[in-house]
Chain A
């Protein structure tokens, strides 16, 4: 579904590449998380997977990117709507402003794609149910909380049934309640299983719950790529500023103090931690 080959990209006027020799193949339906310190290239990668790098940001790009069968270097982002979706950090800026209710806001993308009205109506209900916004469907998008607005952004993308959905740190500007709401929506999406998801995130405990794969970026390069438990507990990760889940940290302390055998695999979720300590 996603094929990135030898991608190297520099923003205009920058000599240091934001992404360097990135190779990434994501199969259809996978939930792939991307971690890395700030400025490691997570956002740039997200924009590259959705065509905004290089078409919106200009700059120099080498390599190839193919998503959902489309050559992203040849396709302007506007044409990708409906096949590739993007959700980014600021919930407020993702409200178009051109619609007065949540329901109509969700419909906006489908109107642009030219779907028939009956189709639009049924898809809206689906998307609102998935993101838990059915009870605020008739409110103004500007009257929602940050968490609700971000869920609205997700609903507005999901309603277009993209084959790939890319999310760039969707919870970074939200409070804990909002974060929980957004991850609930993402887990519903993951459970449905038909969308390939790429999620750039800092909040490791949350990703550990449903990511099927974790890619770690540092300085624009991929430094680790594999199953979540492997990547999030590997020593390389510690070095590049990603941190570790609380469960991993606690477990490492226990191992260091000899309370648990040194070869036992470190946990990244609560359930794994319980198994680890018993």
Chain B
């Protein structure tokens, strides 16, 4: 896949060979776990015990850890600073200039970071180990409309081209004397001469692309088939049902615990 808008890394691994929906189920479970698990450390434990080994199995441990770090760090820092330093009331721990880090704030920051870790961790794993088109086909086979698959996959391929076009227009307009520095008003005025060519340039394309899509039978009535075949197995099907059940259990348990809290 040349230049597609995604972080997918092709690898020869068991994880990559898994059916996309299995990985999606894991991501969903991880998200629910992140939101439902109580306490401070369970989320981190779950991440270490489940997500990291799975990433290792997928031969993407390094990339995965980096992606997780890149995602989590800004949140963790913000949480510590914003909620830690500015917690209303609360027990001061350390003085930081005129402010002080509050215990409750730190606890909150740790818990929230753990939550974000699990909620997003499963999807990062999914994105790194699953071809977007495989995921779309898997979903389409389970009833998702083909138009959705079309939209998602086409977007992935045209975004890089659009970004390049936007850069080109920026350069071209700048060389024609467009002011892009200076006070805010001038910069805002520069917006239209940049956006309008981008939009107008796409208009004719849209009509022709619609014609091309029709000519390829997109609206043709009748059942559809698929060239790509996705490998699946009974154990994966069972695993997916298990994960789904697990999600339900977690949600129910959390709601019940919440009612009693």
Contacts and interface: CB of A to CB of B under 8 A. Distances in A.
A113 B227 CA distance: 12
Interface size grouping (class) on chain A: 35 or more
Interface in A107-160: 107-117, 120-121, 139-140, 142-143, 153, 156-157, 160
Contacts of B219: 76, 78-79
A31 interface: no
Contact of A142 (B3, B205, B223): B3
B216 A109 contact: yes
Interface stretch (A62-70, A93-101, A234-242, A261-269): A93-101
Given A96-B212, A98-B149, A100-B157, A82 B217 contact: yes
Interface in A73-106: 76-79, 81-82, 85-86, 88, 90, 92-100, 103-104
Given A79-B221, A97-B157, A142-B2, A86 B211 contact: yes
Given A86-B215, A96-B212, A114-B225, A139 B2 contact: yes
A121 B225 CA distance: 12
B214 A81 contact: yes
Contacts of B221: 79
Q: Which of B149, B161, B212, B213 has the most CB of A within 10 A?
A: B212
A117 B133 CA distance: 17
Given A52-B211, A98-B149, A82 B220 contact: yes
A108 B213 CA distance: 10
For chain B, the bracket of interface size reads 35 or more
Given A98-B149, A142-B2, A142-B3, A78 B227 contact: no
A50 interface: yes
Q: Which of B158, B161, B219, B220 has the most CB of A within 10 A?
A: B220
Given A107-B227, A112-B220, A98 B150 contact: yes
Contact of A113 (B161, B205, B215, B220): B220
Contacts of A156: 216
Interface string B215-254: 1111111111111110000000000000000000000000
Nearest to B161: A142
B153 interface: yes
Given A100-B4, A117-B229, A112 B215 contact: no
A111 B102 CA distance: 60
A104 B226 CA distance: 10
A197 to B, nearest CB: 15
Given A79-B221, A139-B2, A93 B227 contact: no
Interface of A: 50, 52, 56, 76-79, 81-82, 85-86, 88, 90, 92-100, 103-104, 107-117, 120-121, 139-140, 142-143, 153, 156-157, 160
28 contacts: A52-B211, A56-B211, A76-B219, A78-B214, A78-B217, A78-B218, A81-B216, A86-B212, A88-B208, A92-B205, A96-B209, A96-B216, A97-B158, A98-B150, A99-B133, A99-B153, A100-B4, A100-B153, A100-B157, A103-B227, A111-B224, A111-B226, A112-B218, A113-B217, A114-B220, A121-B227, A142-B157, A160-B216
Chain A to chain B: the 3 pairs with minimum beta-carbon distance, closest first? A78-B219, A81-B217, A97-B154
Given A78-B218, A97-B153, A114-B222, 4 more contacts: A86-B215, A90-B208, A107-B227, A109-B216
Interface of B: 1-4, 131, 133, 149-150, 153-154, 157-158, 161, 205, 208-229
